Amino acid sequence: MEMTITSAAIATLISGLTSSIITMLISNKNKERGLDAQLDEILKIAIKYPYLESENFTSGWKHDFDRNDEKYLRYDVYGTLIFNFLARVSHHCHYNKKKIDQYIAIEDWVKLHSLYWSDPTSIVENIDSYNKEFVQLINSFVTKRKKSTK
């Protein structure tokens, strides 16, 4: 039995494919807008509390900080906010370092906050909180930083 593809069937296929592509592009743009909004909020926090992005401060991080020290309490939450954001960006970019770097200077940010990553307040916090691809990505930057500081 011979199948004949009609022009109506072809038009329906093309219309469906075009609609799917447009929906995907709109979805990606919405995700990027959401990431942009999150980045803006993080930057507003950093402007309000500049020590959070200061190497003089971040290099003094220890998981067993004084729980009465408001700066360290704030940094503990800020560090989680940073790595949650980086996890979302990394996922959006399919863990491709070049794509991530086109959006944000991830390596610089990870280097600045590497002690927070390496010495979390809970011993399994980073291992259990993030997926394997993200943990490997971040650890590659942290390892690179440790080698460069020796």
What pLDDT was estimated at residue 129?
85
Q: Please report the DSSP string for 36-80 in residue order.
A: HHHHHHHHHHHHHSGGGG-HHHHTT--TT--TT-HHHHHHHHHHH
- The answer to whether residues 145 and 111 touch, using CB atoms and an 8 Å cutoff, is yes
- The answer to whether residues 65 and 76 touch, using CB atoms and an 8 Å cutoff, is yes
Checking 29-32 for CB contacts under 8 A at 24+ apart, the result is: 31/92, 32/92
pLDDT higher than threshold 60 for residue 2: no
pLDDT higher than threshold 90 for residue 15: no
pLDDT, average across residues 47-76:
93
Of residues 58 and 25, the one with the higher pLDDT is 58
Of residues 23 and 106, the one with the higher pLDDT is 106
Of residues 9 and 39, the one with the higher pLDDT is 39
**What pTM value is reported for the model?**
0.80
pLDDT in tens, 106-145: 999 999 999 999 988 877 677 778 999 999 999 999 987 5
